[in-house]
């Protein structure tokens, strides 16, 4: 049996490569392995960095699902957010712009 070279998770026998799906996708999208995402999650006390609601990583599309939030231009990871906060920021970034939102809020 083979294990992921990043997190040690056991790989299915039919799977190619040396990384589990979570580490492979995390490295490609955010530059983070599963272990690094879990450490970031822990450093935030397992809460959304914006609304402070408890979140769970690797749980898709539920209200308490934790998402890695990152800047799409710079690829810089900002933290772990709940699904609601992450999709809200994504909408604002794409359609309005964070600078314009910030300008509106401080005026």
Domains, the chain, with CATH or none: 1-43 (no CATH), 46-106 (3.40.1800.10)
Pick from 91, 78, 26, 72: nearest CA to 48: 78
On the question of pLDDT at 1 being above 80, the answer is no
pLDDT tens by residue, 56-68: 998 877 878 999 9
The three state secondary structure string of 49-76 is CCCCCECEECCCCCCCEEEEEECCCCCC
Strand ranges for the chain from DSSP E: 56-57, 65-70, 77-82
pLDDT tens by residue, 28-40: 989 999 999 999 9
Q: What is the pLDDT of residue 106?
A: 92
**Mean pLDDT (whole number) for 76-105:** 91
**pTM higher than 0.75 for the full model?**
yes
């Amino acid at each position: 049996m083979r294990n992921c070279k990043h997190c040690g998770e056991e790989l299915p026998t039919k799977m190619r490569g040396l990384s589990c799906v979570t580490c492979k996708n995390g490295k490609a999208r955010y530059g983070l392995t599963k272990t690094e995402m879990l450490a970031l999650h822990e450093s935030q006390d397992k809460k959304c960095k914006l609304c402070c609601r408890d979140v769970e990583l690797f749980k898709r599309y539920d209200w308490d699902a934790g998402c890695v939030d990152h800047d799409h231009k710079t690829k810089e990871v900002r933290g772990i957010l709940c699904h609601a906060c992450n999709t809200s920021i994504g909408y604002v970034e794409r359609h309005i712009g964070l600078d314009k939102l910030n300008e509106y809020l401080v005026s």
